[in-house]
Amino acid sequence: MHQIKLNNNEKILFAISLFIAFSNGFSQIKSGEKLIFSGSYNMSGILTPLAQITMSTGTITTAKGSYLHLSCQATTYSKWDSFFKIRDLYESYVNPTSLKPSLYKRNITEGGYNKTEKYVIKGNSITSTAKKGKKPETIRTFGIGSNTQDIVSTIYKIRTIDFSTMKAGQAKSFTVVFDEEELPVIVKYMGKETVSAGSLGSKECYKVSISARTNALKGTDKNLMWLTADDKKVPVLIKFSIKVGVGQLTLTNATGI
The H or E element that residue 173 is part of is strand 171-178
The region, left, alpha or beta by phi > 0 then psi within -120 to 50, assigned to residue 231 is alpha
Q: Which is nearer to another protein, 119 or 174 (CB)?
A: 119
| Residue 38 contacts another protein per CB under 8 A | yes
Burial class (CB in 10 A: 0-12, 13-18, 19+), 7: exposed
The contact pattern for another protein, residues 55-94, with x = CB under 8 A and - = no contact, is -----x-xxx--x-x-x-x-xxxxxxx-x---x-x-x-x-
Contact 33, 255 (CB under 8 A): yes
The number of residues in the chain equals 257
| Residue 213 contacts another protein per CB under 8 A | no
In 3D space, the residue among 212, 200, 209 whose CA is nearest the CA of residue 250 turns out to be 200
| Residue 13 contacts another protein per CB under 8 A | no
Q: Which of 48, 124, 141, 202 binds another protein (CB under 8 A)?
A: 48
Least distance between another protein and beta carbon 67 (Å): 7
Q: Which is nearer to another protein, 119 or 226 (CB)?
A: 119
Least distance between another protein and beta carbon 115 (Å): 14
Amino acid present at 140: R
Site size for another protein (CB under 8 A): 34
Residues of this chain, 89-128, that bind another protein according to CB under 8 A: 89, 91, 93, 102-103, 105, 107, 118, 120, 122
CA separation for the pair 249, 255 (Å, rounded)? 17
Q: Is the dihedral of CA 50, 181, 143, 129 positive or negative?
A: positive
Binding positions for another protein, rule: CB under 8 A: 38, 43, 46, 48-49, 52, 60, 62-64, 67, 69, 71, 73, 75-81, 83, 87, 89, 91, 93, 102-103, 105, 107, 118, 120, 122, 252
